[in-house]
Structure 1
Amino acid sequence: MSDQETVVDVVDSRLTGTELLVAAAAEVTSWPSVSASRARQVKWVVGEYTRALAHADHPLAADAGVRTVFTREPVNAYLLLARTGQLRVRKAADPSRGSDNSEQIRLEVLKLLVTACGAEDFAELPPQPDPPSKPPVAKRPRSLLRSQLTELADSPDATTSQLRMLAVGAVVSDTGIRAGEMCARTVEDLSPTLEELRVVRRPQGWSEAEAFTELLALSGLSRAALKRWLPDRQRLLQRVGGTATALWVSLHGNHHDGQAVPAGTPLMPRGLARAWTRAVVDTNIEMAGQPSWEPLPTRMEQLRRGVKPTAVRAPIVPDAEKAAVLLDDVAARGRALAELRREGEQDSTAELQARIAVRQAVRDAWAEGIEHTVQLSTLADAGLPDTASLAAAGWEPVLLAAIDRARGWGRPSKAAAAV
């Protein structure tokens, strides 16, 4: 049985009212597939429904049983009371204003509670509403946006803030991923050549068990932007102790719960959005009046609208047998390249073909989910221990430096040199 497989222990059907709902909530939140955010939503809905049972306008009494509490009339009465703000613990400024998103969450949670109670045969839940549509964003020619980012990438005087903005903008324009997905990315999610990005997708309303992994293609602009951002990121990590794997980090120190937080700490979604807006505003002011400059969009959302990335599905967890085969291939291809380099065959046709072969093997192993450090250890044993030989095998030097910092050297050869 997988860790994410859900076994439902149906709650006692003799329970009623609040006890029934609380027991159902405890069962749902115990499932491995239920995330922390979903668990909070379950407790919120159960709290609302408990107050609904005590409300004068609800048709059921506080001791309602499992065969009635999820039927059409009581559920509709609960939703109406919740929608009009009559079940709030704290008074709202305008109780009559309901949220389509809140209604959708309530129905999703009610469905989970029905499952926990084993009440599928007599539950009558309303159909799920369509997800609320987002207001359209003014169209901006994507070619113009990329042109502005390219102009910034070519600037030798770009600040660290602008380099991070450039890398974020280019990656989002290529992949269309959300701020939360961006913040979750680490150096492990970059392919050795910086040509692809691994992203774990968790669509809204889906359970953790329904998450899936995609490999998204990165453009030449994104690769150039990452090559400029990663060295500056490295400098920002100087005061950060321990491992440092986050791809997007803060530029300045801050305080959290009374404790000093140094620069180089991982960005959270709101922080990333604010950082983008701040950097864009500063850059637009600085570049105003330049003949070819058009202001960049100040909201990250504008970057991802309409993006149709080139995506390939990948496993969330590597298959052990397949991983072993792929690592054997990396080792064999690595030994072949190392042998040609030892014989002085650099830049020969045979050596160039060997480079292509090992790069493909390395890419396939990364796509399966094999960690960078595991591959680098395999290549070191095969005779490719240093930056120059690993670059021949397709590894970007700036990524190698990031791996070293992320994992406490990362490469066996570097670890040995540090002793």
Structure 2
Amino acid sequence: MRERLVVTGLGVVAPTGSTAEEHWAATLAGRSGLGPITRFDPASYPVRIAGEVKGFVATDHIPSRLTTQTDHWTHMGLVAAASALADAGVVPAELPEYEMAVVTASSSGGTEFGQREMTGLWSRGPDHVGAYQSIAWFYAATTGQVSIRHGMRGPCAALATEQAGGLDAVGQARRMLRSGTRLALVGGTDASLCPYGLVAQLSNRMLSTVPDPSCAYTPFDVAACGYVPGEGGAMFVVERADDLPASRGRGGAGPGDGSAAGPYGEIAGYAATFDPPPGRGRPPTLLRAVELALADAGVRPDEVDVVFADAMGTPEADRVEAEALRTLFGPRGVPVTAPKTMTGRMYAGGAALDMATALLCMRDGVIPPTVAVTEPDEAHGLDLVLGRPRELPIRTALVVARGNGGFNAALVLRKIDD
């Protein structure tokens, strides 16, 4: 039998809250974090709405020396990582440094830092480009900085599969743990809300240009017209269940900060697939990714209690995902939710945040709602959780993610028996 891998701590930085407790409360209340872009003047851009992390001050958590060397995306990753370790009750200095791994996902890297340095280059010359430009923009920077900060010198990695990255990072960490690593700090964050980053995102032609945040991002709705970008993400401590000392539970004061002893849940199954190039006459492979993840977990479709949808928000992408879920579960066969309608699609941080929300959903027995959707497309045949949370005992949750370019990932989480 394979070793059971469990999530013992989680940390969140998101438009819905800068802690797991704040995020969970806002999500259950249906309070959206979408609004006008304030990190720069968006007046000359077609997209003016985003999910920004409000009130986040990096120097409240990280030494100023480090914040000047790193990007906003890494700041959020460092804060989420520290929160996850504290939530798990883990003190890295007390564990063998070569038995702790760090795996993160990133889609854009340090675009805000990079834009600032490029502006200095173009306007003032090469003498005004700092040495940290060479590392702060790099998509592996968060993995490196987290590893250094916590003395975690075991196997480390960075995944770049866009929105699927948060789940792919968990899959990679799972391999490391099954190969002998004792503990993995894993997850994903992204932050690309600067002119350079936004223009790069516009190239996929899937962003919503609706200026009203209450209806700009409406996946599975008849008026679906694209998605809203967001920033933030989540980090997790993952350990082998057999390695957990009986004396160590989670030790904080609120949801996501250790209010209940013991792990949040088990990582029961994972799979990833890659779509063929458009025009080849071959279907997308999202359904296969979900089927493989369920098979990996030893879970039947009728045992899944909730699906956290990828919810890309374009008519064609929604149709593909709905068709996959309908084929596997039957019409309206399982509750489906997309709480990312309150944060925007956060790229490498999006699926990681969905995973955090799913773990809290299992713990409290309540499915958070999908907001903004007012006229769901009945042709999709989905049982969307709309308007208000739905209280149900949740034992098994499925998280689905797709990354631009053909990446698909699925993760099965299972509640641990009391």
TM-score range, shorter chain: under 0.3
Per chain length, whose mean CA-contact separation is higher, i.e. which structure has more relative contact order (CA < 8 Å, sep 6+)? 2
Please state which structure has a larger fraction of its residues in helix: 1
Larger-gyration structure (1/2): 1
Return the structure number with greater strand share.
2
How high is the TM-score relative to the length of structure 2? Answer: 0.22
